[in-house]
Structure 1
Amino acid sequence: MTFAKAQEYFLDHCQFEKNLSAKTLEFYAIDLRQFQSFLKNYKSDSQIGKIDKYVLKDYLKYIAHFKPKTVKRKLATLKAFFNFLEFEDIIMVNPFRKLRVKIKEPRRLPNLMSTHEVQKIFKAAYTAKEATTSDGDYLTKLRDIAVLELLFATGIRVSELCDLKDKNINLQNGVITINGKGSKERLIQVCNPGVLRILCEYRRYFEEQIEQSGYFFINRLDRRLSDQSIRRLIRGYTQLAAIDKNITPHTFRHTFATLLLEEDVDIKYIQHFLGHSSIATTQIYTHVNSAKQQQILSTKHPRNGFEFGSCSDSQ
């Protein structure tokens, strides 16, 4: 069987049998196309059964210039692909069985905002809305604020926010149904009156367009708002707030989780809010900033209760 035919079978399996998300299917297709391109340049036989561990080792060198996270994703795609082919008896042996690869990712703390920076961005957005001189500009700013408020209120992923349907949001009860990774559904309550008020105002002004498209957040063409549009609007308000920091939709998510932890919210609740299948993923947020460290150590450390060695003893 040719690689192209095997790829077609695999993607059909992922879409119709495993019901994977459109985003996952897109990445699978990109990664497999790249591997197919490599095979052509490598002058390897296009027959899928001819691919062995030595071909994979050369491919690993070929993609070594990518970030470790990207390399891991591309290899994971190929592993899933060859696992499927072996299970379906299209190939006799999965070439990954004879290959041991360990890729280390540098552990980096998430990019965060302070509460002061969050306040500056919201102030810039609300001030810009009140300063508008046209109805169209006012509606754009209203939608932007609704996006920012929901990002910070729920810690939602940008892809989840873009995919929110009108039917997923109950503004009367303040309950949002989020379809997360792996088609896992979770409910999050929006409790802040200010957030609910801006969402209701946005929904009221855009009611006709929202009902027509089915999506809650829409662009000027009355279509689903894209990830790129949200990144651009955040970048714009970051600059307007005079914050010299790379702030993305994921920064709002990281900040949401970290600030809740600093308020002593149980990590299991945060795991649910973020839609993590494993608490190990959530534990990246268990770092604390220097101000919080100082507060904890100055008030909670048992040494503070020792009577000897105090300032009064030395006088």
Structure 2
Amino acid sequence: MLPDSLARPVAAYLHYLASERRYSPATIEGYQRSLNQQGEILTKMGISDWCKAELADLRQLAMRLNRQKLKASSIANKLSALRSFYQYLLEQGKMSANPARGLIAPKQGRPLPKNLDIDTLTQLLNIDDETPLGRRDSAMMELFYASGLRLAELVSLDVKDIDLKRRELKVTGKGRKQRLLPFGQKALLALQRWLSVRGQLCQPGEQALFVSVRQQRITTRAVQQRLTVWAKRQHIGSHLNPHKLRHSFATHMLESSGDLRVVQELLGHANLSTTQIYTHLDFQHLAKVYDAAHPRAKRSK
């Protein structure tokens, strides 16, 4: 438990993120957890006021995080939250400078997320289950792969967000940014099949597109559990999660189109560098494109 002198500024900052920046509850919870942990470290260091911590103190804090054997990416995220928090205090006139600006995060590797190949995805999505739950799960997985949705984006969809005629869906992504996404014929058919029985699982007037057996909007945890069930049922030999379906969408789109900017828009990435990390092509594919496109690589006829 943080002392009031440390807890009050954090509470004010979290309120700011929710009311002014419109961050999602999950993001705010992550900031709260991170700042509380770092506040506890400062307390052990004998510092009970965020504004009295200097760069040397924060470097010591970072060293203590490192001793906890956290992943480099986790430490980087925590220090990023700390920098943002101190920037807020600076803008509120509580400080004259941001002491966390000089913090350097540990170097981290960039492991590429794994994707499913097309044959495995076909095996997964060929679901022969006409129960309401089977139709719902089929529609969820088809949308994940058809549009590259994040988990939070899928569960927040309402019926009104789906345009079956245009085959479009309106998605609210990170930072409350909205984007229109297309989806294909397979996803359309799966959605139509689900919508025809959706009323059996929800109360009249329910807005959520995907609902649980409790007759309310399905939770992120429930979606993850259902994907695990279907991975076993369809004999998929690897762990299945929404991120893997999203990455499979991005990889296959990039392999087919080669248009990184389009994939960036579809994924809802603010920065192209994120897409470059998120979507990888195997070297053989790149080599084939290079050999076919580069003037010095083309073989003379």
Q: TM-score range by the shorter chain?
A: 0.7 to 0.9
The question of whether the paired residues in 2 share the 8 Å contact of 1:166 and 1:211 is answered with: no
For 2:61, the equivalent position in structure 1 comes to 59
Query: For residues 275-305 of structure 1, what are the alpha-carbon distances to aligned partners after superposition, in whole Å with 9 as ceiling and x for unaligned?
Result: 1112222223563236635755786686663
Instruction: State the distance in 2 between where 1:83 and 1:285 align.
Output: 28
- C-alpha contact 2:13 2:88 (8 A) present in aligned 1: yes
| Alignment RMSD (CA, Å) | 2.4
Percent sequence identity over aligned pairs: 25
Structure 1 residues 237, 79: CA separation in 2 closer, same or farther (over 3 Å shift)? same
Supply the AA of the counterpart residue of 2:92: E
For the structure 1 residues 6 and 299, does the alpha-carbon distance in structure 2 shift closer, same or farther, using more than 3 Å as the test? Answer: closer
For 1:195, the equivalent position in structure 2 comes to 187
Q: Distance in 2 between matches of 1:33 and 1:278?
A: 29
How many residues get paired? 294
How do residues 144-163 of structure 1 correspond to structure 2 at under 5 angstroms?
144-163=137-156
**Residue 275 of structure 2 aligns with which residue?**
282
Q: Which deviates more from structure 2 when the two are superposed, residues 255-264 or residues 286-295?
A: 286-295
Q: For residues 278 and 49 of structure 1, do their structure 2 counterparts lie closer, same or farther at Cα, with a shift above 3 Å needed?
A: closer
2:73 is aligned with 1:79: no
Question: Residue 6 of structure 1: CA displacement?
Answer: 1.2
**Structure 1 residue 101: deviation in Å?**
0.8
Length-normalised TM-score, structure 2: 0.88
Structure 2 counterparts to residues 1-315 of structure 1, below 5 A: 2-40=5-43, 42-64=44-66, 65-97=69-101, 99-123=102-126, 126-127=127-128, 129=129, 138-192=131-185, 194-207=186-199, 209=202, 211-284=204-277, 287-289=280-282, 292=285, 296=289, 305-306=299-300
Aligned letter for 1:57? R
**Structure 1 residues 179-188 or 23-32, which shifts more?**
23-32
Distance apart, 1:114 and its partner CA: 0.7
- Measured after TM superposition, the shift of residue 156 of structure 1 is 0.7
Paired residue type of 1:38: I
Q: Which amino acid aligns with 1:82?
A: Y
Counterpart CA distance in 2 for 1:19 and 1:287 is: 31
CA distance in 2: counterparts of 1:178 and 1:151, whole angstroms: 12
Could you tell me whether the CA contact under 8 Å between 2:156 and 2:208 is conserved in 1?
A: yes
Amino acid at match of 1:3: L
Greater mean deviation of Cα atoms: 69-78 or 225-234: 225-234
CA distance in 2, matches of 1:280, 1:303: 27
Consecutive unaligned residues of structure 1, counting only runs of 5 or more, are 131-137, 308-315
Deviation (angstroms), 1:49: 2.6
Whole-angstrom CA distance in 1 between matches of 2:164 and 2:213: 23
Distance 2:62 2:206 in 1: 43
Q: State the alpha-carbon separation in 1 of the partners of residues 14 and 188 from structure 2.
A: 41
Partner-residue secondary structure (3-state), 1:188? strand
CA distance in 2, matches of 1:105, 1:210: 48
Is the Cα contact below 8 Å between 2:72 and 2:108 reproduced in 1?
yes
CA contact (8 A) 1:217 1:225 kept: yes
Select between 44-53 and 214-223 the one with higher mean Cα deviation.
44-53
Q: Displacement, 1:264? A: 2.2
- Structure index of larger Rg: 1
Report if aligned partners of 1:48, 1:91 keep a CA contact under 8 Å in 2.
no
Offset at 1:149?
0.6
Q: TM-score, normalised by structure 1?
A: 0.84
The one-letter code matched in structure 1 to 2:7 is A
Deviation at 1:246, TM superposition (A): 2.6
Provide the C-alpha distance between the structure 1 equivalents of 2:166 and 2:199, rounded to a whole number of angstroms. 18
